[in-house]
Amino acid sequence: MGFLTVIPVPHHPVRDRDFSRASGYYPLAGYLIGATVAATLWAASLVLPPVVTGALAGAVWLGVTGMLHIDGLVDSADAVLAAKPPAERLRIFDDVHVGAFGVGAGACYIVLLVSVLAGQPPWYAPVVAAVAARAVLLVPMNLFAPARPESLGARSREGRWFVGAVLAAPVLVWPWAAPALLACVVVVLGVAWWVARRLGGGLGGDTYGMLICVGELVTMLALLALA
């Protein structure tokens, strides 16, 4: 919870293996994030127009995650879209500067996220999206090799994906959650495969953050279209 959100939690000494154990519980953070965004949407809609409500909910969504995932999206866009060999793309992740690809990807993501939230999706949509994206992420995390074995992302692999699946299962009780989850699975796995090819066969921590952004957005779009 303390890794994926800004929610204060007690700190304890962390060992490398703890990161992989914790990944199975990522959907729990999704419930908290989604519920916070859903509550913001409901409260803001009582006094504000839809566009402002969507913008406020989007800001809360980014804020409660500490901008962690959008940071991964921006860094990944700069690296993956670069017209360079895989080894040079991996080195771009170490560059602290943000390039045109990163700015463009981040801007498109924010515009789409705010637009979907302003489109008055089902009240439960943020919960389903936040949980589904973090549960689905466990598949490419375990399926693809680490792009850089020494990275934090590499230490988070090989988590208990079945725990994540069980924790995410309750969201399927809501209408249209199942097809939205299927859309999330298909798109996230497709993007993960393409990104891994661009990086020489592996994924890393920044790309995991990017996949969460993609999964959340796809799930929200599916629920907005279907519900």
One-letter amino acid of 201: G
- Write down the pLDDT at residue 214: 98
Position 145 scores a pLDDT of 86
The predicted pLDDT at position 147 comes to 81
Please tell me the predicted confidence (pLDDT) of residue 146. 86
Which region holds residue 84: left if phi is over 0, alpha if psi is between -120 and 50, else beta?
beta
Residue 60 CA to residue 110 CA, distance in Å, equals 12
* Per-residue pLDDT, 10: 64
Q: What pLDDT score was predicted for residue 156?
A: 58
pLDDT of 216 reads 98
pLDDT for the residue 35 = 97
Q: Residue 197 burial by CB count (10 A; 0-12/13-18/19+): exposed, middle or buried?
A: exposed
User: Residues of the chain whose pLDDT is less than 50?
Assistant: none
CB-CB contact of 212 with 189 (8 Å): no
pLDDT the model gives residue 81 = 96
